[in-house]
Amino acid sequence: MPNEATSRPAYMSAPWFEQLTREVKASTQAKVAARMGISRVTLSIFLNGKGEYGNGGAKPDRMELRYRKAFEQLQCPHDGATVGVQHCRSKALGAPPTHNPLQLGHWKACQACQFKPAPEEKVELIRRPRAAKQDVPMAVLDTKTLPLPEVGAPQIQPIAEELA
């Protein structure tokens, strides 16, 4: 009979994972998943170590990042307020607020803060190569049934000429 501690994925022994399980026990999987921005099924698979998470095919790094963004609170060294990671990210990584000296002082303190988050990597879109253009005419002009008008001549012949 295999030992349960050895059959569990390594991420399940991390302190943040224990905090995540506490959040789920205090609330519901659906509410925690919604706050993290994932589906309830994905969170259930992750918590139980099933699927790609259980066999080591998926890395739990993204799940850890989602947990930290949603639930971790920090005490700001500048003003002593308890703030979330997103607030810290917007202050520290935003443009310097040169219009307000108080906010600029806070921004400068964020630049030297131990909790300053790293900028998120931008995801580049993968562009598919376009199909080679074929030389297809835009329109075909039928010169057999519709005679071309002469340059400078009237486009429509008068009715009197047709009747004569």
More confident residue, 60 or 125: 60
Total residue length of the chain: 164
* Residues 29, 40: Cα–Cα separation, whole Å: 6
Sort residue 55 into left (φ over 0), alpha (ψ -120 to 50) or beta. Answer: alpha
Instruction: Summarize pLDDT for 34-46 with one digit per residue, the tens.
Output: 999 999 999 999 9
Say what percent of the chain tops pLDDT 90. 24
**49: its two tokens:** 């170590």
Instruction: Summarize pLDDT for 86-131 with one digit per residue, the tens.
Output: 788 888 888 999 999 989 999 999 899 888 877 766 555 566 666 6
The pLDDT, as a whole number, for residue 59 is 82
The pLDDT, as a whole number, for residue 144 is 64
Per-domain residue ranges for the chain?
Answer: 1-71, 72-119
Cα dihedral: 58, 62, 67, 73 (round 10): 150
Q: Are 46 and 8 in contact (CB under 8 A)?
A: no
* Residues 130, 50: Cα–Cα separation, whole Å: 40
Q: Are 117 and 93 in contact (CB under 8 A)?
A: yes
